[in-house]
Amino acid sequence: MQSRNSRRALASISFAAFLLGCSPGVNNPYSKIQDPPLVSASLHTVTVVSPDAAPIETLQQEGFTLAPFPSNYPASVPVEALLWKVPAAAAANPAVLMAVAGKGANVRVLVTPATAAVTAVDPDVEKAFFRNVLGSEVPRWPGSTPLPTGARVQVWTYFVADVVAAKRRLHAAGIPVTFDPVAITTAYLGDHRTMGILAPDGAVIELVQNAAK
């Protein structure tokens, strides 16, 4: 009898260990980052890909202002297309909508069919990534109404103090850098340095060092 009870106890312990091993927290590398956050970042722009101009119209109705930035910096287009993972034609013609001062991030709309969809992520993993990597809350779509059908967030753009220092800390912590720091000039952000990493769901995280921020 004692042997049977021992086997039952051992089985219970093994099953509990199995459940623990399957819990989402075990596979959350961002929760183990030492001395977080790796970067002190502030959300500046949300870039949306959409098959049509519906998000532009919706945001204007909510008080966002369409900014007339000229497309006169062609050298930046291939860089941004690669960084944002969109076609060059889309990167060349962004629509930038400025939020009311102090009311959240600006929005950049790229009219192009959506690329590969983002993947579902455990909320704890997502929260740990933004908190411990970027020192930020999980970003949200700044519009007061949901994105129109077919549109989705492609890029979260954050301002940081120094992209080279950011790359160094990210690399040391094992966070893959998908786009190395590069200097470009655009009508929207002026002279700046930019680099990229990926959020757990596959969305692009653009880190921008801009003296004019």
Q: Find the CATH number of the domain harbouring 157.
A: 3.10.180.10
> Is the residue at 71 inside a domain?
yes
Q: What is the pLDDT of residues 90-104, one digit of tens each?
A: 999 999 999 988 778
Residue pair 139/46 in contact (Cβ under 8 Å)? The answer is yes
42, pLDDT greater than 90: yes
> Is the residue at 27 inside a domain?
no
The domain in which residue 54 lies consists of 33-209
Quote the number of domains for the chain: 1
Both tokens of residue 59? 């945001």
What is the pTM for the complete model shown?
0.85
> Is the residue at 8 inside a domain?
no
Q: Angle at CA 123, nearest 5°, toward 107 and 137?
A: 45
200, pLDDT greater than 50: yes
Q: What is the pLDDT of residues 135-185, one digit of tens each?
A: 999 999 999 999 988 899 999 999 999 999 999 999 999 999 999 999 999
> Is the residue at 200 inside a domain?
yes
> Is the residue at 12 inside a domain?
no
